[in-house]
Amino acid sequence: MIDAVLFDLDETLLDRTNSLKAFLRDQFARHADHLGQVRLEEWSARFLVLDRRGHVRKSVVYPAILGEFGGRAEHAGALLADYRARCARFAQPFDGMKAVLKELRARGLALGIVTNGETEFQSRHVEALELDGLIDAVLISEREGLRKPDAALFLRAAMACRTEPSRCLFVGDNPVADILGAHAVGMRTAWFRGAAEWPSDAAPNPGASIDRLSEVLSLVRFQAAQ
């Protein structure tokens, strides 16, 4: 029986790659004079590589990319501040996000978000996706002082949803931080795989794999019937 569904945010509820591309298009247009000899397509593609799906801090990415294209190094701070202030305006959810969350709530499930990131930045994205009224608990690593895959963070999330880890389904895109982390505390898991392969050097995927958020609905029904 599942009482709660916990979601990662970036690349799980938030279509981060497409959101970031939309932001970069806007930022490029406003800051083009400082970025060096580069076209938007090159800048955006290189940014995504350096960003490594959000794993590299933008305080590292901006100086690096300015250096590569001969931009003004002293402009890195302004670009970073602009990213922090405006990125969330371009937040786009994955298909059907809101309908899926509403349906899960209608079935009486508690809903949570567990995300690694900066409190203010991630909170702005939660707000931009209009998740405030749909989610019971939002745990952000900076605010919690814990990062996935730390077991304590998953346990805290279950507690915030007033249930046991074994009665939680965790949905996320990161095999190690999300799926193996949640599995280690006894949660059911659904890997939102996108185009990624499960890493060959990690333990096998212990749970379901999904390609669309709407598949969560059948997983919960299936698991609830067990």
**CB of 71 or CB of 175, closer to Mg ion:** 175
- Interface stretch with Mg ion, choices 10-18, 26-34, 64-72, 132-140 (CB under 5 A): 10-18
Residues 6+ apart with CB under 8 A from 200: none
Size of site (CB under 5 A) for Mg ion: 4
Say whether residue 51 binds Mg ion (CB under 5 A). Answer: no
Q: How far is the CB of 14 from Mg ion (least distance, A)?
A: 8
For residues 148 and 181, is the Cβ–Cβ distance under 8 A? yes
Determine the Cα–Cα distance for residues 189 and 168; give it in Å rounded to an integer: 8
Q: Which of 4, 5, 6, 11 binds Mg ion (CB under 5 A)?
A: 11
Joined tokens for residue 138: 């939002």
Q: How far is the CB of 26 from Mg ion (least distance, A)?
A: 23
**CB of 36 or CB of 54, closer to Mg ion:** 54
Instruction: List binders of Mg ion among 173-192 (CB under 5 A).
Output: 173
Say whether residue 10 binds Mg ion (CB under 5 A). Answer: yes
Q: How far is the CB of 86 from Mg ion (least distance, A)?
A: 21
Determine the Cα–Cα distance for residues 123 and 90; give it in Å rounded to an integer: 14
Query: 3-class SS at 126?
Result: helix
Determine the Cα–Cα distance for residues 169 and 96; give it in Å rounded to an integer: 18
- Interface stretch with Mg ion, choices 75-83, 165-173, 182-190, 217-225 (CB under 5 A): 165-173
Say whether residue 144 binds Mg ion (CB under 5 A). Answer: no
Question: Which of 37, 131, 165 shows the shortest CA–CA distance to 140?
Answer: 131
Query: 3-class SS at 191?
Result: strand
Question: Which of 219, 210, 164 shows the shortest CA–CA distance to 187?
Answer: 164
Q: How far is the CB of 149 from Mg ion (least distance, A)?
A: 12
Q: How far is the CB of 41 from Mg ion (least distance, A)?
A: 25
The residue type found at 65 is I
Binding residues vs Mg ion (CB under 5 A): 8, 10-11, 173
